[in-house]
Chain A
Amino acid sequence: AQSVTQLGSHVSVSEGALVLLRCNYSSSVPPYLFWYVQYPNQGLQLLLKYTTGATLVKGINGFEAEFKKSETSFHLTKPSAHMSDAAEYFCAVKGDYGQNFVFGPGTRLSVLP
C-alpha cells in the first residue's frame, strides 16, 4: 500500500529564509508525486507535480521539488520565504491509472517577520 510521511507537522521560518518541507513516500513504481497548498478556509491548490522526466520540478510561487528515487523523497523548497507562503502543505502520491491519491498528514508553514 502507498503511504506518505511528512517530517514536521509545523515548520516556522523567517521571512526571506529558505523553506524546506520534507516528504517521503512508499509506493509501487512509477509513482506520481504532488505538492498541494491549502490556505485557511480554502480547498487544496496544486503547487507542482512529478510524473516522468526531469527530477527537479518547478511549480508556482517560486516553489520547486526534487524527486530522489534512491531516497524515496520529494522535498519541497523555496529559496526565500514570503509572508504569503504561510499555509498548510500536503504531499501526495498516486500510483497507476485508477488508483486514488494518498495524502500525507500535512505541514503547517509559518513565516515570521
Chain B
Amino acid sequence: KAGVTQTPRYLIKTRGQQVTLSCSPISGHRSVSWYQQTPGQGLQFLFEYFSETQRNKGNFPGRFSGRQFSNSRSEMNVSTLELGDSALYLCASSFPGDTGELFFGEGSRLTVL
C-alpha cells in the first residue's frame, strides 16, 4: 500500500510570493492533517480536513489555507510568504476512528528568501 505522498519535496520562494503544497493520503484514508515544523516551534497543527470539510484549525493567520478534494487529496496554500514561513510542512492521513493514528508523508521543505 502506498504511503502518504507530498509534493514538491523542496522549494524555494521569495517574500511576498505564494505557494501551494500537495498531499495524497493513503488509499482509504479520509482525514488529512497538516503540520508546520520549525526548529524553534516544533510541530504546530495547521488544520485537518475530513470529507472535504475543515474539521479543526490551528492558530495560524488567514494566509494559511487548505482544501480537500473528493478523492481525499489535499492542498495547502500560503499567500504573501514571510521569512518566518520557512519550515518543513508535513501532511498526515488517518482512517477515521477514536485513535485515528496519523501516517505522515516525508514533508515539503519550504525556504523563503
- The answer on a CB contact under 8 Å between B90 and A32 is no
Tell me whether A105 and B33 are in contact (CB under 8 A).
Answer: no
Give Cα A90 to B102, complex, Å.
13
Minimal beta-carbon separation of B101 from chain A (angstroms): 6
Q: Do residues A106 and B100 form an inter-chain contact, with CB atoms below 8 A?
A: no
**Interface pick from A12-20, A21-29, A67-75, A96-104:** A96-104
Q: Which residue of B lies closest to A99 (CB)?
A: B56
- How many chain B residues touch A (Cβ–Cβ < 8 Å)? 25
Q: Is residue B113 contacting chain A, with contact meaning CB distance below 8 A?
A: no
In the complex, chain B residues 59-113 whose Cβ is within 8 Å of any chain A Cβ:
90, 92, 96-107, 109
> With contacts A49-B101, A97-B100 known, what are 8 further pairs, Cβ within 8 A?
A34-B101, A43-B106, A98-B56, A100-B33, A100-B45, A102-B45, A104-B42, A105-B42
Interface residues of A (CB under 8 A from B): 32, 34, 36, 41-46, 49, 51, 90, 94, 96-106
23 A-B residue pairs with Cβ-Cβ distance under 8 Å, sorted by A, are A32-B99, A36-B104, A42-B106, A43-B92, A43-B106, A44-B90, A44-B92, A44-B102, A44-B104, A46-B101, A46-B102, A46-B103, A49-B99, A96-B98, A97-B97, A97-B98, A98-B55, A99-B56, A100-B45, A100-B56, A103-B35, A104-B42, A106-B42
